[in-house]
Amino acid sequence: MTGCAVNNGWRWRSGVVVLWAVALCGIALQCTRSDASNQKAEGGRKPAATVKIYSLEGKGYQVVEKVVKTEEEWKKQLTPEQFRVTRQKATELACSGPYWNHHQDGVYQCVCCGTDLFDSKTKFESGTGWPSYFAPVAKENLRLERDTSFLMERTEVLCARCDAHLGHVFDDGPEPTGQRYCMNSVALRFVAR
C-alpha cells in the first residue's frame, strides 16, 4: 500500500511539474510575441512586400515595394468617390467618370499609387459608359480575383501594387485579346504623352 501511495504521489507531482513547464513555455512564447509586436510599433520594420511591375516611363520592369496604408491615410489622399471605389470596391455610375468618353494619347495610371495600368492605344468604345481597354500595360501590373458579389460571378481587377479596386475584366472585348477591362474612371489618373 505504501508503494502505491508513493507512486501516486510521485505521478501527481510529475503531472504538476509538467503543467508548470507547459504554462511557463506558453508565457515565454506570449512574451516573445509581445516583444515582436512592440518592436514593430516602436519602429522595428518588418521587410516590406515587393511586386514586379512594368513602367512605361522606365521602359522596363522594376521591383517596387507594395503600397500599404491605413484607411485614414487613404481617406486623406483620395476624394470620397475615389475612396469608395478603390478601397471599398464600389462602382461609379455609368457615363459619370471623366474617362469613359476620353480620347487623348497617354497612359492611365492607378489613382492610388501611380502604377501604369493602361495605354490609350488599347482603349476602345465599349458602349458601356465606363472606360474599356483590351489589354493592360503589363499583366504583372494587375491582380485578378474571383468576385461573386451581387449573385454574379465576375473577375475583379485590382492594382498589383496597392490592391486598389479598378473594375472587372470580361471575355467580350475586341481582338487581339478578346478581353474588355471595364474600369472605373475615378480609379484612374491620366498622364498625357
Residues 6 or more apart whose Cβ sits within 8 Å of residue 67? 112, 113, 161, 162
The residue whose grid cell reads 490592391 is: 163
**75 alpha-carbon distance from chain centroid:** 16
Q: 3-class DSSP state for residue 151?
A: helix
Rounded to the nearest 5 percent, the helix, strand and coil shares of the chain are: 35, 25, 40
The DSSP line for 70-86 is -HHHHHHHS-HHHHHHH
Separation between Cα atoms, residue 158 and residue 168, nearest integer Å: 8
Q: 3-class DSSP state for residue 191?
A: strand
The DSSP line for 138-174 is -GGGEEEEEE-GGG--EEEEEETTT--EEEEEES---
**8 alpha-carbon distance from chain centroid:** 59
Catalytic site residue 31? no
Tell me which of 112, 113, 159, 182 is the catalytic residue: 182
- Grid coordinates representing 106? 497617354
Please give the positions annotated as active site: 182
